[in-house]
Every structure is written in C-alpha cells, then in structure tokens.
Amino acid sequence: MRVCVVGSGAREHALAHVLARTADVVVTPGNAGMAPPITVADDVSVEEIEADLYVIGPEAPLVAGLADSLRGAGKTVLGPGADGALLEGSKAFMKEVLQAAAVPTARFATFDALESAAAFDYLETLPGPWVIKTDGLAAGKGVLVARTVEEARADVTAKLSGSSFGEAGRTVVIEEGLDGEECSLLVLCDGTRAVPLVPAQDFKRIGDGDLGPNTGGMGAYAPMSRVRRDDVDRIMDTAVLPLVEELRRRGIDYRGVLYAGLMLTAEGPKVIEYNVRFGDPEAQVVIPLLESDVAALLHATASGDLGSVGPPSFSRQSAVSVVLASAGYPEQPRTGDPIEGLLKSGQSVAVVEGATVYHAGTRRHGTGGPFYTAGGRVLCVTALAPTLAEARRRAYEAAAPIEWEGMQMRHDIASAAAGASPVGAGEGAR
C-alpha cells in the first residue's frame, strides 16, 4: 500500500515512521528530519501524488476542505470533510453539537465583538476560574484559564477586539473552569463505528508545574494507567458515540480521528474540546505503541469499513515524548539557530534504546548539512520502554545533548505519573 501523509510536523513524522513498517510512505511537504524509507515530496502538491490512502495531519487543511477535494477526485482519505472539521474550526459550533448530543461538558456561552458587555455579565455568573477560548483556529494557543475576573475581562477584550488573535478571536466561548485530571482520547471513526486508541496525557503550558502560557503541547505520555478499560468504555458511551450519532443525524459522514480532550472530574469525564485529527504531541506517544498494521487500520477507517479489521492491538510498553521549543515560543518564536547534538540522520548523538527524535520545525543546508530551528516547536524526543519511569528516563537521556541558544524544554513531563522528580537542566531523568 502507498500512503501519502500531508503535513510537516512531528505528528506527521511519527505517523510516517510507523506507517513505513508496512507501507510505502510519501510525505508532503515533509520536513528536514524525515529520511528513507520515508519519501519527502516538498516540491509537488498533494493532488499530484498517487496513493492508496491520504492521511491529513494538521487541522487547517481539513477545515479548508482538503479532504473534500481529494474525495471528489476519487481518493481514499483519513480526515473529515469541512462539515465535520468545523468541530475544531469553530468552538462555538463544537459546543452547540455537544449540547445537542447531550455530551457532558462545561457550562458555556458564546459572544461576538458586539457583545462585550454581555460577556462581562456572564463572567459574573461563573465562580471561576474562567476559560476563554477563541472560536477559530489558533494553533492550540487561543485558550486562557483566568484566575481572576479582571484577567478574564482583559482577555475577552483582547480577543474580541482582534488584537490578540485577529479574526479567530472576534467570537469567544467562555466556559466554567473544570477541576480534575486531563486526558486525551484519540478515536478512529469510519462514519458509523468508533474505536478508541490508548488514552494519553499532554502538557500544554510552556513551563514546569503547568506555568506560563498555553502552547501546542510540550510533551505527552501514554498510556494513562489511571484510565482503565471500563473508564474508556464510559467515555465512549457518554462522550464519543452520542457525538458520532449527532453528526450522522446532521448528515455528516465523519471518517477520521476524533480527538476528545477530557477532564476527569468528580462527576465523571467531561469534554473540554474536540479536535478533528491526531493530537500533537499525543500522536507521538500513541501511534508508536500500535502493534497492528497501522496502514490497514487507517485505510479501513477511511473506507468506512472498520469492521473489516480486528480491534487495534498495542504494545504493553509505555511511551514518553518531550518537546524542544525555540526561544520566544509560543508568543514570538525565534528561528535560524543552529542545533547541536544531532547526527546527520537527524537523530540524537545519544543513541538510546527505544528513543526516536521526530522533527517538527527544522531546516538544513544540503542533504548532510547541519540542522537549524525553523519553527516554534522544533523537535519531539519520544522513547518507549517497559515502564513509564524507564520511558521517561530514556526520553530525557536522548534529549540531553540536544541544544541551541534559548531552547525551551519542560523537565516534568510524566514525572507525577511515573513517581519521579523533575529533571534538572542538563541532566538525565532520575
């Protein structure tokens, strides 16, 4: 089978890496760290590539209707059409669908640029903390959890005025803050059936201890041992299957990934958000754990025929990913810094069992030249091991020699779950 992966980040690198176990893989536009057997096609459009399956990684082309145009040309595509992708393209739409499907979620209200006074009044009805979200796409950075009503008011004003996120923020969703532990559940949906993958947890804030602004994600681990099989079944019954049924009721044939961002509250799991693609960095820990033929599994999903393949099987190992980000990320990432500690292959000079470096925002001069930073999130170091503590140790050991001026890295990824201390700067995991 030939698979075309659309995208250029660490998520697409991980997908291509795992798909290449059983398939011929081409990635467009790809990135500088992708190497054979993966083929990088950075000089042609996806429409010019012939493949048996097209896997669309990022949300923006899905919202823009790329899956629709490919399906219109007779292609088999993993990724929803623009109608289904609106779940991520508009948080207001997503919340309305959840409400219609009776999916447990936070209390909310939606306001546009002409309703700032009403938005301020609504803030007063919630006990706090307050969650303010841009309605449109903001690369995972359009969410603020405000601890004071003054902070919430200032963020609402900045978003509705367009000064912080442009048109994406001129409509906002204001939600009550939920208390609990976060969980990401990636689910494959073929339009009718839905099959969960292993639950993961990501770390969204830039700094240790969940401090600082939201990012696209600074690390992740899987599986979450706290979330057992019966918990996953409960999430499917209350939060996923009712959504799939509501989408079908609206005439939306959803074939792709449903990424449920959940809060595990004392009252049960509640949906924070739905995304319409593999999470990043969740994909970097979930996909490598799959022992199934991933190409066949995704092809069956895209074909509307998950019943033709067995349930996905997973390794009994654990996986941890640590993201290395540019100076200034997430507000104003600096690019062009030379990266030390990588081999010509793009892997870490610390050759660690079970560890892989997935590239996200890198470039290089020539095939064998040095690597430079070329984005906000630059590299994602993922390690697999028999235990979570060992996977964490391996990930930080592989990341230790990699550096550039101003590099940012969290030192506490999976530390609480693994019962480990945060890693000190320049150290391997204890």
Task: Give the relative orientation of helices 10-19 and 294-302 as an angle to the nearest 10 degrees.
Answer: 110
Render each residue's pLDDT in the chain as its tens digit; 430 residues: 999 999 999 999 999 999 999 999 999 999 999 999 999 999 899 999 999 999 999 999 999 999 999 999 999 999 999 999 999 999 989 999 999 999 999 988 889 876 778 889 889 898 888 899 888 787 666 788 888 988 989 988 888 888 777 777 788 888 888 899 999 999 999 999 999 999 999 999 999 999 999 899 999 999 999 999 999 999 999 999 999 999 999 999 999 999 999 999 999 999 999 999 999 999 999 999 999 999 999 999 999 999 999 899 999 999 999 999 999 999 999 999 999 999 999 999 999 999 999 999 999 987 788 999 999 999 999 999 999 999 999 999 999 999 999 999 999 999 999 987 787 644 444 3
The CATH number of whichever domain residue 354 belongs to comes to: 3.90.600.10
DSSP 202-268: E--EEETTTEEEE-S-SEEEE--TTS-HHHHHHHIIIIIHHHHHHHHHTT---EEEEEEEEEEETTE
The CATH number covering residue 152 comes to 3.30.1490.20
Q: Is residue 323 located within the same domain as residue 278?
A: no
Total domains, the chain: 4
**Final residue before a domain boundary, out of 157, 176, 195:** 176
Q: What is the pLDDT of residue 140?
A: 65
Same domain, 215 and 236: yes
Q: Is 74 in contact with 254 (CB distance < 8 Å)?
A: no
Same domain, 63 and 118: no
Tokens coding 271: 């949906």
**Residue that terminates a domain, selected from 119, 149, 176:** 176
Helix (H) or strand (E) holding 275, with range, is strand 268-275
One domain for residues 223 and 300? yes
Same domain, yes or no, for 149 and 243?
Answer: no
| Domain-embedded: residue 339 | yes
- Residue 99 resides in a domain: no
Assigned domain for 423 exists: no
Claim to verify: residue 294 and residue 327 sit in the same structural domain = no
328 lies in which domain range? 318-418
Same domain, 211 and 235: yes
pLDDT of residue 424: 62
In a domain, 428, yes or no: no
CATH code for position 75? 3.40.50.20
Domain boundary among 81, 96, 122: 81
Query: Are 135 and 213 found together in one domain?
Result: no
Query: 244 and 168 in one domain?
Result: no
Let me know whether 130 and 237 are in one domain. Answer: no
Q: Does residue 101 lie within any of the structural domains?
A: no
Residues 131 and 156 in one domain: yes
Dist CA 31 CA 285 (whole Å): 19
Residue 212 lies in a domain: yes
Residue 266 and residue 218 in one domain = yes
Of the candidates 317, 275, 329, 322, the one whose C-alpha atom is nearest the C-alpha of residue 141 is 329
> CATH number, domain at 279?
3.30.470.20
In a domain, 22, yes or no: yes
